[in-house]
A and B are shown apart, each in its own frame.
Chain A
Amino acid sequence: MIRRIVVLAAAAGAVLAVVTAARLPAEQAPEADVTVAEVTPAVQPIACPGPVEIPVGEIESGDPELGSGSEDRAYATLGDGVAPVGAGYLAGGDVAASLERVGSGDVAGLSATSCVAPVRDQWLVGGSTALGASARLVLTNPSDASTEATVTIYGGLGELEEHAVVSIAPGGQQDLLLEGVAAEVPALAIRVVATGAGVVAHLQDSRLAGFQAAGTDWVARGATPATSLVVPGVGVEGDASAVLRLLAPDGATASLALAGEDGAVDWGGVSALVLEPGVVTEVEVPAVAAGAVEIEADAPVVAGAMLTVPRPVEDGPADAEAADLAWIAAQPVEDGFPRSLMLTEHAASIEVHASTSGGVSFRDASGETVASAVLRAGTVASLPLDLPAGTEITGPADVAWVVTVVDEPGFVSTLAPRRTDVESTEVRVAQRPYVREGS
């Protein structure tokens, strides 16, 4: 009997242990130490890509009417302390820009671009390698160390298997014709990841419509993937059209809104746009005189817009159509940093979009206001400019803006402002054991 009781008592003890052990207060192990350090990279000079090139090489037919090239070329480099690097150049100051006007030939049009500093990771939304289009990626390394850039290409079917790895010597420049990497991709987005101090990437988008130039412009880098973006300056008039190009690296649902001068403009069917991961999506933007696309997404996206401005054909079949195009990259909303740019010739207006109500004013280097307006939240304004080339203008923080460059006979381009402070990057440093990965 006693034995029986002992056994049952022991079993009861075991059950009791299970019950009481559940009540032990558990101490939560803290997370491993991670040091988040702001790393301020050495200030690197800004760089511009240089003149545009005729994609298939200069074809001299002997007849200026038929040749691809043009006698009517004007190329201006603006900036302080300009030093050549490859075909392009470096500039010492905070801002610099280049403007090129090609009057005729395959690459006729205005191509303006702001010079930018190298970064390690950048997205360029724009370009095409469809028949008649050429996408020439110009990678400039203004730093003193060589860098290796990995170019990942996204198209309408998602991320392409083909990618390119380009080594760029210190102070060197490399061209990459994307049609040689991934042909027949009508809508491109490019990600360039570079080592070291990074790289400056510009994409020359040149198009032909039969024998007629259909426009050339530089695609500049836009905002890094974010859930809230604005593409300013998408206002078009007449036959001109605007197309928004979107890409969500990991997929997202985005809703688009078009802000006009008097507030939101009707735009049906874009309230819940499903973006498949890595798939480049194009959306036609309704034509308004002045507008900006506001993008809100539930996951990070990148975006850019292309303006196409047709013009009468000077010399060709009646139904032929010539055009020029301009790319505008998306800008982050309210990141709290002012941006600056250097004006070129033919700078026509500042296209500004405000997310909050209030006055916006643009100043030159001496601090004088050169343009100003009072805007309500979610509206845009077009502020005409009449300032000499080489003027540095700085906009207020928390607005998105671009400068449009316009010239006869229907040439357009844009200049995007850049942050002039040195962007410090956040580095997460953690300790972890090191063994080789399994093979």
Chain B
Amino acid sequence: MSPARLLVRAIVVSDGRTTHLADVLASIAAQTLRPDIVHVALPLDAPRPPTPDGLVIDWRDTARSYTRSIGLILAEHPAHPQEYLWLLHDDTAALPEALAQLVATAKKRTAAAVVAPAHVRWDDPTRLVNLGVTTTRVGARRIDLVEQDDINQGQYDERDDVLAASIAAALVRRDVWDAFGGLEPAYRGYGDSLHFCRRAWRAGHDVVIVPSAKVRHSQDGLRGVRQRSSRGTDATYGLRRTGEWVHALAWSRPLMVPVLLLWTFLSAATRAVLRIAQNESRMVGADLAVPWRVLARLPKVPGMRARIRRGSTRPATAVAPFLVGTRAVISHVRSRELHAYDRWRAQSAPSDMVRFELERAAARRRTGLGIVVVLAIAASVALHGTWLSAIASGRMLAGRALGVTDVPVDALWERTWSGWSTTGFGSPALDGSFSALLLPLAALPGGLRVWIGVLLGMGVALATASAWFALGAATRSVWARGLGAFAYGLWPLHLQAIADGRVGPVIAHVMLPWFAMGLARAAGWHRGEAVGGGEEFPARRLPSPSAAMGAAFSLAVVVVAAPVLLLPLVLVVLVAGAFAGTARWRVWSAAVPALVVSGPALVAAWTAGPLTADAWAILARENGPALVSEAVEPWRIVLGLTAEPLGTPGLPGLPGTVVVGAIGLAVVLAAAVAVGSGRAPWAVAGGMLVAALGVVTAAAAQSTVVVTGAVTGEAPANGFAGPGSTLVVAGLLGAAAAASSRLWTRGEGRGRAAVRTSTSVAAVLMAGVIVATVVVEAWPGREERGDVHPVEATVLPLVAALEQELSTRQRVLVLTDTDEGVDYTVLESDGTVVLDGRAQPAVDALVTVPQGATAATLADTVATLAGAGADATPLLADWGVGVIVAAPGSTMIASSLSQLPELDLIGASEVGTSYRVSRAGSDVPVSRAWVDRGGDIVPADADSWSGAIARTAGGDGTLVIAAPADERWIAESGGVALASVDDALGRAAFSVPAGAGEVTYRYEDHDHRLWWWAALVTVAWAVVGMIPLHDRRFQAVRR
């Protein structure tokens, strides 16, 4: 009983901002079955395209929205019993047969409210754009039933009933349109088709797709062309994603709405992280804005839900078969990714010949890497095998500069989080970045003890491996990479830094190659694999955003480990970016995390006067272990030598300079040959400039006193030349390696033979120098370079260590006999900790630390103790020193302490003799902080930077914190800040009113906290961004 004739009313709505309108009208005119009536809604001010021959067009003005424009037209034309609307967009042009096929289907499927055509690409009708849409059970994800750009081979021709299809160019029954009131405005154009079709199903109608009816669709709206956006589909991502959530809210069960709202935020956060990993930083904002957009549209949801409820005649389960589950979603996402991957592969697939060469190169590379790693580990074991076995047996490395290495996680955490350094009696710290750097190592199984041991013991192997990977960006020659990597790993000043326990320069040396590699790849300057006759594969190397983020992360690590490298490396990044062409912003972004992490220091340097020696001292500071080292001449820096290199016991005639400097000499010669050869000129020039920068940095560092010891009493020390020297060797090796690239296949005939002979000789010589260096350095009986040595992990007697752990947090004063007197140190934890980072007294002048009764007074007190004099202990108790330990073998001081009646011997063991210090006139144990109410003392439950004192009865009192006063100490009771009072000893003190409840105090440095979060965010961003997710293939297919 199909009706004899349908009325098809074609309506084209255009906002006048398209170039396709003429084509659209022409396609209507070209239809084998023309629509009965054609309305075109076009703004009055927009230019009208010519009307195709034989087509009668009813020109109309547009209204505010698509639905309203249609509504205006329909209002003037009463509904016909069999009327269908053919709703054309101004970017949809139907192929000639389309309307006829749609009408034919509409006649057969009378229940169909929507009869939709297949959408194909505007420029290529064989490629599918849309062939029906569905959604998940939750509804918050639109699932296309065909992949974008899938080739139409008739594989979908059987498809008919779908949950939804695009309304664009679809036949819609006029009565249904009128009943629904058009499209839902809350979607703002994205997702309204799905909503309309789903409503149609629920209202007892069908939605049918006609795969054979094809409509070209240029997707102007989707790509944001109308807004003149050049970002493609990204332009409307936020709107589309919001539409999906609105759909979920409209169709979910009522109880699910709050859950979905929460879910929007979680989903947005997850996607934002994913965007960072994909280095689509602009999309992070779009994703983060989605939940707020959803919230803004929330008021419209109840209305939508009411309309759905009123219009539905079928139950919700009626559409359930169309909805897809989790597995289908995963398969959908996976096929989308595979599709992109396939396209990348199709674009960059090498020929079989090239593939064979690449496989051979890969095999050579893997073998080379394997040999280098094995030999590097062997060299490490030869040099520091005893350390590694000691670590394995539960001991730790320690040294004068290194301190103890068994530092617990919480100590590092408190140091980095609070901004309060516990060295001595404590002091404000410039930043906590060094602790933060080591915190992940401390959190790993085995703790900092094991990982610092591995870092130092395997320092040579780690640096060698890093250099291997970095040199891969400069040359693909396995020999050049291997030899260069060993020269870098065995760099004499690196060995010196390892032996001295200078953790910062060691980390900087290990991480710098990664930075260099990241920078080269970020700019697309890395070498491709050499194939065929001097070509490289891939022929065009693309800049990698992930590599830029990797460089950013490495740079942040390097400048935390060796702050002196901040200025030269930022300069390198700036210059590199200037030469990087379109990748310049990516390259420049590599400096951001390093600058943010160094923020407090930069501010301090600026405050000190930007171009003064003080500012440089702050910038050249050493965060971790530092030692007094003799300044050396620049040529020694270039060769990586210390002031007095050790000779070899077996070869007394050979001066140490020659023995140790051989590697440096070989590297300098290689760089000189590179300069002379004229090969890879830009890379060689860059390398030489980096080396020059390194020399200047090292010389400037060692000419500045960077450890003043003003607060901590450390030995003042000049800067270490190591980090600058690292830059030198990196620059020279980079230059030499870049020039050596493809040297093997250079020239013809005798020339090639000559080149090959000379490179072979050079390689053998270099290998000889490297082997000789390892042999000399590992020579049994050769004097140690430094004083790092393995010791038992327990430093203090157990009784003393326990007192440090208790809530009273007593400090321990350790005294050691010397020939002429006594040495002392105040310990917060089990042994001297340097690895939590220096507080940077270099900036004391700026942060104004009151040094009331610290170093000098303490020294006098120690002298009194040494002479068994009276009245020494009250001062110690006042500063929270609860235990005095005489070091093992220090019998002089032990007997002096034994003579003091106010000290109680609490234990003697092989790790020292311990004495308890008592408060004068009170039985309450010594503590880090306490409230004193007229002699009635209540100790605090404290950690290194905060604490709490339980409610106490009594009159007015004083809260005393055994730490130097600083305006950033804050004390509160019941939410009310306590007033600070002056303390005769210069400690932090607050008045506690009578009847106050629990008293809490803490050290609160707002600036520190701000920088801390900023550094965390930028570094985390870099870490996520350096995950090489999709990187290459997305780069290739998207742009």
Contacts and interface: CB of A to CB of B under 8 A. Distances in A.
A227 interface: no
B756 to A, nearest CB: 24
B899 A145 contact: yes
A27 B558 CA distance: 25
B856 A35 contact: yes
Interface in A126-159: 143-148
Contacts of B891: 148, 195
Nearest to A32: B715
Interface residues of A, number: 59
Interface string A4-40: 1011111101101111111011111111110111011
B403 A435 contact: yes
A186 interface: no
Nearest to B796: A434
Contacts of B685: 6-7, 9-11
A439 interface: yes
A25 B717 CA distance: 16
B792 A439 contact: yes
Contact of B823 (A4, A17, A430, A439): A430
B633 A22 contact: yes
Contacts of A17: 634, 691-693, 695-696
A32 B713 contact: yes
Nearest to A8: B675
Contact of A33 (B696, B698, B855, B866): B855
Interface in B205-226: none
A439 B402 CA distance: 17
Contacts of A145: 868, 895, 898-899
A196 interface: yes
Interface in B656-685: 672, 675, 678, 681-682, 684-685
B714 A431 contact: yes
Contact of B678 (A3, A25, A26, A431): A3
Nearest to A430: B823
Contacts of B703: 24-27
A431 B823 contact: yes
Contacts of A25: 703
A33 B899 contact: no
A7 B895 contact: no
Given A18-B634, A22-B634, A429 B821 contact: yes
A297 interface: no
Contacts of B709: 32-33
Given A431-B859, A436-B398, A436-B792, A27 B704 contact: yes
A21 B688 contact: no
A191 interface: no
Q: Report the contact-size class of chain B (Cβ under 8 Å from the partner).
A: 35 or more
B373 interface: no
B439 interface: no
A147 B866 CA distance: 15
A428 to B, nearest CB: 4
Contact of B695 (A14, A35, A429, A430): A14
A120 B893 CA distance: 12
Interface string A415-436: 0000000000111111111111
A42 interface: yes
A427 B713 contact: no
Interface in A349-376: none
A18 B731 CA distance: 14
B898 A439 contact: no
B831 to A, nearest CB: 5
B894 A436 contact: no
A262 to B, nearest CB: 43
Interface in B677-725: 678, 681-682, 684-689, 691-693, 695-696, 698-700, 702-705, 707, 709, 712-718
Interface string B171-204: 0000000000000000000000000000000000
B837 interface: no
B920 to A, nearest CB: 20
A3 B680 CA distance: 9
A3 to B, nearest CB: 4
A435 B867 contact: no
Contacts of B867: 39-41, 425, 427
Contacts of A6: 681-682, 685
Contacts of A26: 631, 702-703, 718
Contacts of A434: 795, 814, 816, 825, 827, 831-832, 887
A35 B863 contact: yes
B864 interface: yes
B399 interface: yes
Contact of A428 (B681, B818, B894, B896): B818
A214 to B, nearest CB: 38
Contacts of B795: 434-436
A144 B682 contact: no
B674 to A, nearest CB: 9
A438 interface: yes
Contacts of A402: none
B183 to A, nearest CB: 63
Given A18-B634, A29-B716, A429-B823, A10 B791 contact: no
A437 interface: yes
Contacts of B705: 27-30
A200 interface: no
B681 A7 contact: yes
21 contacts: A7-B675, A9-B685, A10-B684, A10-B685, A14-B691, A18-B695, A21-B634, A27-B704, A28-B705, A29-B718, A40-B867, A40-B869, A145-B898, A426-B820, A429-B862, A430-B821, A434-B816, A434-B832, A435-B402, A435-B404, A435-B791
Given A18-B695, A36-B821, 5 more contacts: A24-B700, A29-B717, A195-B892, A429-B824, A439-B792
Interface of A: 3-4, 6-11, 13-14, 16-22, 24-33, 35-37, 39-42, 120, 143-148, 195-197, 425-439
